[in-house]
């Protein structure tokens, strides 16, 4: 069944820190709705949403996956996202495609910064949110502590609408604070009854708090409440749904994915409380792609939200990025790796468009005149780079092709060739993400490769000014080679580039050979200075020379130019320049001592710091030698227990301190 009414569609991104039980929860929801005889388990590697070989091997999610389910006339599109921060780009994709984020937190583990990081992204984009407290069946599970931690982390708006009956191994059921009933579970099956007497007082208090929290947002309901009128369950739910849609109220429910407790109730809440999509009212077809897969077997698949109109087989759309009209031949509904061909899909729905290789994450398709909808969430920039080398030299090209396919799937991965060393550089957010990309390259494209630290893009500049003569003379019978170029070399400020000045008067070098002298100097500079790095930021004044009417040639003058530069390098020596990056580090305020100390040990110059009132984070701006940032991502993670974030961009070059030549320029 495919609803044509967007009111009956629920697009829900399942998010939260790694291990909180998101994939298990999607499995439990699938099991509940599809009434399967056996439920998949992470431990058995047979869950619906973690189907890729790397996900099964590492026992955690790596890619966003779509699980579409039909329930009671509703279509629920669940987007299971990875919690490991290396794959945060997938969370950005999922949040970009959803209408509500379902945060899964564990009742027996601390809420780490990784969950808060996702919360902050959702909050910054006004995405409605709901929270599922999972793992209530585990030893040390504690509902009250988890609610306190949630309130502390996320502030106002946290609204528990359920209470657990029992904690840990004694977790047996759930109390509904809306209608004040109790649901107990046996083998995952619910039975509704009265609230047990021993928790009636706690329940009444929680119920009153919930009702007050809901009616406070509605003037007429509040007035009636003050007159002693408690709104009926349906009205309370409706009022709450309005608060959820405005991203002001965040309902909290409870359960256990593996014990199947509370899952039936969660599904009902998703239908009743989660906001429907808010499609554009235009009838013209509008599509937004928020995730692409490039699998050699499945082909190119693009998870796409229908923003307006109805998608049909062979619909045509104008791609605003490529300025091309695309024809959509086929599209699917997905349940993990299983797909179901669709004939139509209506606005608000999510589909996987098949075999349209030109689609990219972030593409908006509409009519040439339609204006783009809300931009997808901005993806974080890569902060970690490694050189990738194929195990077999002959696989250079194959590796580059394989990685270019793999990076299409993850908007936070990037590859490029280092212009000087021609090495292939893979950049991303974390080491696990990069090694997983190589695992995929091996499995899918049969090419094996390893990661190693990148070469630092050092440069050299001349250490002073001098006059030199470059002379190229060769006589080996018949035609000889002859060219002399006299040059003044001078330094320029860092970043000043290279300039060539033709000051020849009186024809000591014929006009046609002068560009060859310049070419010889440029080639010589690129070949490298005293330490083998490109020589930059200098000027060359060609003021005199000599030629021979028969033996002179372009080649001879090119050689003369290059010999002159080599002579100048020899005489003057060079200064090695190192790249410096500008970084912004975001940390919890209490960690500033450790983080600043660590930055100092990396030769950082702190430019300033700021306390961000909105997020409560401490932001340090600094410039740091790029060389020192090679391992910074790992270090920051370890000193901040994953609570630090940074971004870095190349800023400028500075002389490498002489004392470090021995350490870095071996």
Nearest-angstrom CA–CA distance, 596 and 579: 21
DSSP letters for 477-544: SSS-EEEEEEEEEEE--TT---EEEE---TTSS-GGGHHHHHHHHHHHHHH--TTSSPB-SEEEEEEE
Binders in 6-65 for Mg ion, by CB under 5 A: 22-23, 61
Q: Between 19 and 366, whose beta carbon lies closer to Mg ion?
A: 19
CB of 28 or CB of 509, closer to ligand GTP:
28
Task: Work out whether strand 499-502 and strand 538-546 pair parallel, antiparallel, or are unpaired.
Answer: parallel
Q: Which residue, 104 or 577, is less far from Mg ion as judged by CB? A: 104
Q: Which does 382 bind (CB under 5 to 8 A by kind): ligand GTP, Mg ion, none?
A: none
Residue 315, binding choice from ligand GTP, Mg ion, none, Cβ under 5 to 8 Å by partner class: none
CA distance 113 to 118: 9
120 binds, among ligand GTP, Mg ion, none (CB under 5 to 8 A by kind): none
Residue 18 interacting entry, from ligand GTP, Mg ion, none, C-beta within 5 to 8 Å by type: ligand GTP
Interaction partner, residue 24 (ligand GTP, Mg ion, none; CB < 5-8 Å by kind): ligand GTP
- Closest to Mg ion by CB, 44 vs 378, is 44
- Of 45, 37, 44, 40, the closest CA to residue 24 belongs to 40
Provide the minimum distance between the beta carbon of 62 and Mg ion in the complex, in angstroms, as a whole number.
9
Q: Which is nearer to ligand GTP, 85 or 236 (CB)?
A: 85
CB of 55 to ligand GTP, least distance (A): 8
Residue 471: contacted member of ligand GTP, Mg ion, none (CB under 5 to 8 Å, by partner type): none
Binding mask 500-539 for Mg ion (x = CB under 5 A): ----------------------------------------
Does 385 bind Mg ion (CB under 5 A)? Our answer is no
Counting contacts by CB under 5 A, is residue 436 touching Mg ion?
Answer: no
- Residue 19's binding partner out of ligand GTP, Mg ion, none, with CB under 5 to 8 Å set by partner kind: ligand GTP
- Residue 392 phi, psi dihedral angles, 5° rounding: -110, 125
Among Mg ion, ligand GTP, none, residue 316 binds (CB under 5-8 Å by kind) = none
- Total interface residues for Mg ion by CB under 5 A: 3
Tokens of 138: 């585990």
CB contact set of 273 (below 8 Å; sequence gap of 6+): 130, 237, 240, 241, 244, 251
Does residue 90 contact residue 64 with C-beta atoms inside 8 Å? yes
Q: Which residues sit at the interface with ligand GTP, rule CB under 6 A?
A: 18-24, 42-43, 60-61, 82-84, 104, 134-135, 137-138, 256-258
Residue 196, both tokens: 């047990």
Instruction: State the Cα–Cα distance between residues 114 and 104, nearest whole angstrom.
Output: 12
Rounded to a whole number of angstroms, the minimum distance from the CB of residue 323 to Mg ion is 38
Supply angle C-alpha 350, 352, 355, rounded to 5: 155
| 349/599 Cα distance (integer angstroms) | 47
Please give the backbone phi and psi of residue 224, each rounded to the nearest 5 degrees, phi first.
-65, -40
Query: Is the CB of 83 or the CB of 96 nearer to ligand GTP?
Result: 83
Q: Which residues bind Mg ion (CB under 5 A)?
A: 22-23, 61
């Amino acid at each position: 069944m495919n609803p044509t009414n967007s009111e009956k569609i629920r697009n829900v991104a399942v998010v939260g820190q790694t291990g909180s039980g998101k994939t298990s929860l999607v499995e439990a929801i699938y099991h509940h709705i599809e009434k399967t005889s056996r439920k998949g388990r992470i431990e058995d590697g047979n869950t619906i949403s973690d189907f890729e070989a790397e996900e099964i091997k590492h026992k955690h999610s790596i890619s966003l996956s779509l699980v579409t389910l039909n329930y009671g006339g509703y279509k629920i599109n669940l987007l299971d996202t990875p919690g490991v921060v290396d794959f945060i780009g997938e969370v950005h994709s999922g949040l970009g495609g959803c209408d509500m984020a379902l945060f899964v937190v564990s009742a027996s583990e601390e809420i780490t910064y990784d969950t808060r990081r996702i919360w902050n992204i959702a909050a910054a984009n006004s995405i409605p949110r709901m929270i599922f407290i999972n793992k209530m069946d585990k030893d040390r599970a504690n509902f009250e502590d988890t609610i306190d931690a949630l309130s502390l982390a996320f502030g106002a708006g946290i609204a528990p609408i359920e209470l657990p009956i029992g904690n840990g191994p004694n977790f047996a059921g759930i109390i509904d604070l809306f209608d004040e009933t109790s649901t107990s579970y046996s083998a995952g099956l619910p039975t509704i009854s009265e609230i047990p007497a021993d928790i009636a007082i706690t329940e009444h208090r929680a119920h009153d708090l919930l009702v007050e929290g809901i009616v406070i947002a509605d003037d007429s309901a509040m007035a009636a409440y003050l007159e002693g009128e408690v709104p009926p369950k349906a009205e309370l739910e409706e009022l709450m749904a309005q608060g959820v849609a405005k991203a002001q109220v965040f309902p909290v429910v409870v359960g256990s994915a593996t014990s199947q407790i509370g899952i039936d109730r969660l599904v009902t809440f998703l239908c009743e409380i989660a906001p429907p999509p808010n499609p554009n009212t235009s009838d013209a077809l509008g599509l937004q792609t928020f995730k692409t897969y490039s699998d050699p077997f499945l082909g190119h698949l693009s998870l796409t939200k229908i923003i307006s109109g109805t998608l049909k087989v062979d619909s045509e759309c104008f791609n605003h990025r490529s300025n091309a009209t695309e024809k959509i031949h086929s599209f699917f509904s997905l349940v993990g790796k299983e797909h179901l061909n669709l004939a139509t899909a209506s606005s608000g729905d999510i589909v996987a468009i098949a075999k349209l290789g030109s689609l990219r994450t972030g593409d908006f398709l509409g009519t040439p005149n339609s204006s783009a909808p809300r931009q997808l969430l901005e993806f974080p920039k890569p902060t970690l780079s490694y050189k990738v080398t194929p195990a077999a030299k002959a696989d250079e090209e194959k590796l580059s092709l394989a990685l270019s396919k793999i990076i299409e799937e993850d908007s936070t991965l990037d590859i490029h060739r280092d212009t000087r060393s021609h090495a292939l550089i893979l950049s991303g957010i974390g080491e696990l993400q990069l090694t997983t990309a190589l695992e995929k390259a091996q499995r899918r494209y049969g090419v094996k490769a390893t990661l190693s630290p990148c070469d630092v893009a050092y440069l050299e500049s001349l250490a002073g000014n001098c006059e030199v003569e470059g002379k190229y003379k060769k006589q080996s019978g018949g035609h000889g080679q002859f060219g002399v170029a006299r040059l003044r070399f001078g330094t320029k400020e860092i970043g000043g580039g290279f300039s060539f000045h033709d000051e020849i008067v009186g024809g000591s070098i014929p006009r046609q050979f002068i560009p060859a002298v310049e070419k010889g100097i440029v080639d010589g500079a690129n070949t490298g200075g005293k330490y083998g790095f490109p020589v930059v930021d200098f000027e060359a004044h060609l003021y005199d020379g000599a030629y021979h009417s028969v033996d002179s040639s372009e080649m001879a003058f090119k050689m003369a130019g290059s010999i002159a530069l080599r002579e100048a390098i020899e005489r003057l020596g060079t200064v090695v320049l190192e790249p410096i990056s500008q970084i912004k580090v975001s940390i919890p305020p209490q960690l500033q001592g450790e983080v600043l100390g660590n930055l100092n040990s990396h030769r950082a110059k702190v430019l300033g710091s700021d306390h961000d009132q909105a997020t409560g984070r401490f932001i340090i701006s600094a410039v740091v030698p790029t060389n020192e940032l090679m391992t910074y991502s790992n270090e920051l993670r370890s000193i901040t227990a994953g609570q630090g974030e940074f971004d870095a961009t190349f800023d400028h070059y500075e002389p490498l301190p002489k004392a470090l030549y021995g350490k870095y320029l071996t």
